[in-house]
A and B are shown apart, each in its own frame.
Chain A
Amino acid sequence: MKRALPTAAVLVFFLGPLAWQLLTSLWPEAELTRPLPSALTLANYAGLGGTFARAVLNSLLVAAGTTALCLAAGASAAFAIAKLEFRGRSLLLGAALAISMFPPIATVSPLYLALKALGLRDSLAGLVVPYATFALPLTLWLLTSFFRELPDEIYRAALADGCTPWQAFVRVFLPLSWPALATCAILVFIFSWNELLYALSFISTPEKRTIPVAIALFAGEHVEPWGQIAAASVVATLPLAVLTLLFQKRIVAGLTAGAVKE
């Protein structure tokens, strides 16, 4: 059991702060000055109210919208890059990698002006397309490396059976690729759920805030409502904790795909 001590240290460092936050969320507001609470309460959760529920819904909508957009545009593109011959396919993949490294602040000002001109500023739909900046490159890389691993013979057999490339993609390759699509969807969902800078810059109506914005700007009338902030944090963390526990293997595989091979 010589690994017990380092394992405990790792768990305390990474999970300790989360445990303290969970305890704070159940701590009666009036007792926060005491060393420990005398009783636990759900009052902080009850006090969160409708605005934060809206933020949860907004985040769900934006993350789901981004995931749908990226899978729809990314799957066929990744298939084309992996299996079809066309000029500029490695350029497209390289550009996607470079774009995923862009600092988001570099595109905030023109995107703000463009969304304003289109009437999409301060709307949830106006967040989905900018989110493709980081989500679409990830989709392309994950799915391209997946399609590359499927043998070319499958593609040639489909063509020999009279399929067009598009039919081969829809009828043969898409049904085979659901595990990769799922991995991709989980990662894109997490990244969109967590995004702050664009949401903070483009959304001004409190009812349209996403969770990270709501939590960043969470303020009380007189003092910081630490108990309620903790409760909101727990609500924001819960879906991700469930995703992480259920799909740990997929997330790890997706995150590190290509990182060590190429």
Chain B
Amino acid sequence: MMAAPAAAILAGVALVPVLAAAWLSLHRSIVVFHEQRFIGLSNFRFLLEDGRFWSALRTTAYFTAVAVAVELLLGLPVAMLLHRGKGLLRAAVLLPWAIPTAVSARMWAWLFNADYGLLHRLAPGVDWLGSPWTALHAAILVDVWKTTPFVALILLAGLQTIPEDVYEAANADGAGRARTFASITLPLLRPAILVALLFRSLDAFRVFDAIYVLTEGGPANATETLSIYAYKTLMRSGDFGYGSTLSVATFLCVLAIGLLFVRVLGRQR
């Protein structure tokens, strides 16, 4: 069987671990003490009453909604610009997408620096990473900078499937630019927009790198997302039981978003 190695690897690194995480979430498990004890659904009961979990869930949902919305709104004009532009412009826009998120977050941390950052030099007075509201939106800005190129490229691929003569016909019929955009470009771009929305929503919901490097979830847990909370519980506190419960909760949220999109996409056809 030529597909067997790949299937075995995927099962080994993804399917089995997800089931193992679900099993771990039913335990009290502190790695350094070699303690592991089955406690049933106690972790999940604790989860439902854990204010920090609900706050992280709200932060993650808000981050995802705002970041993805801005990326789509910015990505469309960028895609239209790339559609007519040269290859060099495309390569320039691709660069933020290609560099490590950890690198881009460190770069933005320096731009946001309260004493000598470029943003401080241009418009002093705001401590971007110092207060909860600005810190969360600074993290969103980093994500927008990093992933708008990806959205633009998906939309560009969509634009390239629209035949030129459709536009010529609209032009001949005397349709203006706004009319052409609203009744030709947008409807024909719908599949590409949905695909970009799906990929980006699932990706933004698991956000870790940018926030870990930028704020580590601070100030006062204002930027703590589900991945950050789960990471801290697992790796800093060494609590593999409840940490796995948080991981499973994150996984279920992503699964729910994915299924929702699959239903919407399925209805399109």
Contact = CB atoms under 8 A, between A and B. Distances in A.
Contacts of B53: none
Contact of B145 (A17, A130, A190, A244): A17
B17 A18 contact: no
Contacts of A133: 10, 13-14
Nearest to A15: B92
Interface string B86-111: 01011111111011111111111011
Contact of B213 (A20, A104, A216): A216
Contacts of A243: 98
B14 A35 contact: no
A120 to B, nearest CB: 13
A252 B153 CA distance: 7
Interface in A10-38: 10-11, 13-15, 17-18, 20-21, 24, 32-33, 35
Contacts of B20: 109-110, 113-114
Contacts, number: 272
Given A14-B145, A106-B250, A212-B209, A89 B3 contact: yes
Interface in B109-151: 110-111, 113, 115-116, 118, 121, 145, 149-150
A112 to B, nearest CB: 8
B84 interface: yes
B254 A260 contact: no
B231 A111 contact: no
Interface in A164-205: 165-166, 169, 190, 193-194, 196-197, 200-201
A108 B208 CA distance: 13
A259 B154 contact: yes
Interface string B30-57: 0100000000000000000000000000
B70 interface: no
A81 to B, nearest CB: 6
Mostly, the A contact residues are: helix
B101 A260 contact: no
A36 B151 CA distance: 35
Contact of A215 (B15, B87, B93, B100): B100
B67 interface: no
Contact of A109 (B106, B202, B240): B240
A241 B2 contact: no
A76 interface: yes
B259 to A, nearest CB: 10
A111 B21 CA distance: 9
B95 A105 contact: no
Interface in B233-261: 234-235, 240, 243-244, 246-248, 250-251, 254, 258
Contact of A21 (B107, B235, B251, B254): B107
24 contacts: A3-B81, A14-B96, A21-B107, A72-B5, A96-B10, A102-B251, A103-B206, A106-B21, A107-B18, A108-B231, A111-B17, A112-B234, A132-B9, A137-B10, A190-B98, A196-B212, A201-B234, A216-B106, A218-B106, A244-B95, A245-B91, A251-B94, A251-B98, A256-B157
Interface of B: 1-7, 9-10, 12-18, 20-21, 24, 31, 77-78, 81, 84-85, 87, 89-96, 98-108, 110-111, 113, 115-116, 118, 121, 145, 149-150, 153-154, 156-158, 161, 191-192, 195-196, 199, 202, 205-206, 208-209, 212-213, 226-227, 230-231, 234-235, 240, 243-244, 246-248, 250-251, 254, 258
